[in-house]
Amino acid sequence: MGGGAVAVLLLTATGAHAEGRGDVRVVSTVVNGGANVTVGTTHKVTFPIAITVKDNSGVKGLSRVSTFNRSNGYGFFDWVGSTCRKKSATTSVCTATMSVDPAWIAASDDIDSNRVAGTWMVNATVNANDGDYWISDSLADYKVKRASRLTTDATPEPVAKGGKLTITGKLSRANWETLTYQGFAGQDVKLQYRKSGAAHYSTVKTVRTGAAGQLSTKVTVTSAGSWRWYFPGTTTTARIVSAGDAVVLK
């Protein structure tokens, strides 16, 4: 594991500042194409940080990129390299590649690693061809979220028109300490239905998960169709839509 994944508590993590020499500057920063970064328990996660840099002599590149939780200063992503694409004589887009294997996460800090989910920030040092450099903190904020899972099961199948259908399921999310998925309690999850032949699902009701993430509710069936659960996510946990369970009439 590279040194970038070893977390250091940064006492100034919440205070933005920039310093350096000359007129090289960061124009904009986009993390993961503007999308959240979601990390599970097994698969390596890699994502880009695109930093647009400008200097009158042209852009040489990046010499430091780091990213960590804005509130507690911990982070677990390695900077594994970068490339720069020239847009003009003065401006380039330098893209840093960040990566983590979930197996590394628990060893990267001395707290419950799940607390590292949430709002993260980006720091970088940018360099120009004439020797100018700029150390930029708090270039961009983005969300790092725990991956989630959601199941749906509708019974009995088939069901008579006007009969009762029980829709169950379970919401769970990645635990970065144990590398398992554990039930997510106390969350509002939407039950959605799509009539056979229809193009879209519609929300029928909202149900709160139980102590182990369980979901259960009863509905009256008026036509054949598919049922699913939808969880919109939180600041620390990814949104998820279950697979639909198609139910036919007797």
Residue 236 gets which letter from DSSP? S
The pLDDT value given to residue 76 = 98
Cα separation, 187 vs 167, in Å, equals 17
Cα separation, 157 vs 112, in Å, equals 43
Cα separation, 81 vs 182, in Å, equals 34
Cα separation, 85 vs 62, in Å, equals 12
Q: Are 78 and 5 in contact (CB under 8 A)?
A: yes
181 beta partners: 174
Residue 159 gets which letter from DSSP? B
The pLDDT value given to residue 3 = 34
Please name the residue that has the structure tokens 């594994």: 80
Report how far Cα 242 is from the mean position of its chain's Cα atoms: 18
Cα separation, 230 vs 219, in Å, equals 16
For the beta carbon of residue 33, count every other beta carbon within 10 angstroms: 8
Q: Helices marked H in the chain — which ranges?
A: 102-105
Q: Are 78 and 2 in contact (CB under 8 A)?
A: yes
At residue 36's C-alpha, the angle toward residues 31 and 77, to 5°, is: 65
Q: Are 76 and 55 in contact (CB under 8 A)?
A: no
Per-residue pLDDT of the chain (250 residues; tens, 9 = 90+): 333 333 332 323 333 456 899 999 999 999 999 999 999 999 999 999 999 999 999 999 999 999 999 999 999 999 999 999 999 999 999 999 999 999 999 999 999 999 999 999 999 999 999 999 999 999 999 999 999 999 999 999 999 999 999 999 999 999 999 999 999 999 999 999 999 999 999 999 999 999 999 999 999 999 999 999 999 999 999 999 999 999 999 9
Q: Are 61 and 96 in contact (CB under 8 A)?
A: no
Write the burial class of residue 88 (CB in 10 Å: 0-12 exposed, 13-18 middle, 19+ buried). exposed
Q: Helices marked H in 106-199 — which ranges?
A: none
- pTM above the 0.85 mark? yes
The pLDDT value given to residue 1 = 36
Cα separation, 165 vs 158, in Å, equals 10
